[in-house]
Amino acid sequence: MAGRFEDALVFAAQLHREQRRKGSNVPYVSHLLAVSSLVMEHGGDEDQAIAALLHDAIEDQGGPRARDEIQRLFGERVTRIVEGCTDSQADPRPPWRARKETFIAGIGQKSPSVKLVCAADKLHNARCVLGDYRTLGEEVWQRFVGGREGTLWYYKALVNALIQSGRTPLVDELERVVAEIGRLADKVHPHG
């Protein structure tokens, strides 16, 4: 893997250069690299690895302009995968819960490539949430639009949708991490 992947890495790093991970000083590109790494480790090809680097570009960094640039630079297949990982291209975006419900409802119709990148994205995010929850406790939920209840609902619903559309080792690992977040949350708030 060279050439196009390197170009995508530079493009993603430039596009997200000012962005940081929620609630931290960690450069956002670290997430993009982790997601792309997970995709490759789970059999992803070059287009899927590139799409993993760019999976948040349309949603977070320019909407249609970013989409057109991805299409021009990396082609139709990469663009379709990135679009499939995007919960809304509308401007203004619909409310958080509505976007998430629509995204989850559509998981079964998404391509295997989109499911691979999506599962890798959510697995890395869930691992970060779990680590931060262990360190910060309940304070971690302040980072998320959905708060504690919405975030827990979203991860569980997404895992269920991915399982229904076909188990993979990546989905199984996501299920384990989300279950651990749930167990930890239940210890803190047994009835919540």
Cis previous bond, 95, omega within 30? no
CA–CA dist 169, 37 (Å, integer): 15
Angle among Cα 35, 28, 153 to the nearest 5 degrees reads 65
The single residue of 47, 56, 59, 132 carrying the catalytic annotation is 59
CA–CA dist 139, 159 (Å, integer): 24
The single residue of 7, 60, 83, 101 carrying the catalytic annotation is 60
- SS3 call for 99: helix
Is 59 one of the catalytic residues?
A: yes
CA–CA dist 50, 111 (Å, integer): 16
Active site members:
59-60
